Amino acid sequence: MVRQHSHLFFILIFVFTWFQGFSLGDEPIPIDSVDFHRIQHKKVRQLIERQKHFGVRTFDELLPVCYYIPDSNNYQTFTKSELIKQDINVVWNNLIHQSPSEEFDGRIVSFGLLYSKRLNNFLYKNEPYGGIEEGQVLFFNLRMLSGIKNIAVAMEVTRKDNDHKELEYCYIDNGSTKGTQKFTLRSTVEGYTEITQITKYKCKSRLRDRRLYSFFHDRIVSEFFAAIKNKCEAGKGSMVAGQ
């Protein structure tokens, strides 16, 4: 009888310990817990580290600062469209499932880190990716002037609409830019897809607002459109509708 009670006691201890460990996995991840050795860009590492100076202690405390309609007069607008000769569902599935390591791997934009607020975990470069979802915070490095200057940017996926084929990203607070980037897909009469990127943005610097941002943003969006267009039209690794 003593032996049975002892055995039951150890089982209960094991179960209790297991549940404790499980609950710890749901606790917010501290800013200090990120593995900087797996982030190649210095500016991205500095941007993450700098959050502590603004009182941010965990990754779930990172807040988006979206386009604010009552203050719309202080925002600039950027719009760019591209025609992709492919069905809208194919383009959408490629858009939302393409790994950020591949999607943002051009001459200007490079992927640094992804944090998922829903899963409470990190995704480093070249790790398996399940697709875009709301609450993902992405950190990028922007390579300007052939690498003479680099800028780190963080954005959160704030809206994903599968029915209307729309995606929205907002800049993370404590950065140099506020606003919203929106991607919309529209079917054409030919059965192709028009993808449009609209950005409402406000920078701390007026020079960057009116000159630099639009100049470099145009090249960044063009680079992104070229990558998704090539993937969809060439059929290289493209996904069929419904996947």
Q: What is the pLDDT of residues 87-103, one digit of tens each?
A: 999 999 999 998 888 77
237 has pLDDT over 90: no
The predicted structure's pLDDT at residue 176:
84
Three-class SS of residue 137?
strand
* Pairwise pLDDT comparison (178 vs 5), residue with the higher score: 178
Q: How far apart are CA 52 and CA 175, in angstroms?
A: 13
2 has pLDDT over 80: no
9 band by pLDDT with thresholds 50, 70 and 90: very low
Q: Across the chain, what does the average pLDDT equal? A: 85
Of 185, 238, 165, 192, the residue nearest 85 (C-alpha): 192
Helix, strand, coil share of the chain (percent; to 5): 40, 30, 30
Determine contact, residues 232/84, Cβ cutoff 8 Å.
yes
HSE of 65 in the Cβ direction (CA atoms, 13 Å)?
16
Q: How far is CA 103 from CA 139, 141, 241, in A?
A: 13, 13, 19
If you average pLDDT over residues 113-127, what whole number do you get? 95
* Structural domain spans, the chain: 36-234
The predicted structure's pLDDT at residue 106:
73
The predicted structure's pLDDT at residue 181:
97
The predicted structure's pLDDT at residue 11:
39
The predicted structure's pLDDT at residue 23:
32
The predicted structure's pLDDT at residue 16:
34
124 has pLDDT over 50: yes
Place of tokens 């710890």: 24
Q: How far apart are CA 211 and CA 223, in angstroms?
A: 19
4 has pLDDT over 60: no
19 has pLDDT over 50: no
| CATH architecture of the domain covering 36-234 | 2-Layer Sandwich (3.30)
The predicted structure's pLDDT at residue 1:
52
User: Which residues make Cβ contacts (< 8 Å) with residue 168, sequence separation at least 6?
Assistant: 66, 157, 158, 159, 160, 180, 181, 182, 183
173 has pLDDT over 60: yes
**Helices 88-97 & 213-234 angle (0-180, nearest 10):** 120
Determine contact, residues 227/106, Cβ cutoff 8 Å.
yes
Q: What angle do CA 124, 63, 26 make, to 5 degrees?
A: 60
Express each pLDDT in 195-211 by its tens digit. Answer: 999 999 998 766 554 56
The predicted structure's pLDDT at residue 235:
60
192 has pLDDT over 80: yes
The predicted structure's pLDDT at residue 27:
86
Q: How far apart are CA 161 and CA 119, in angstroms?
A: 20
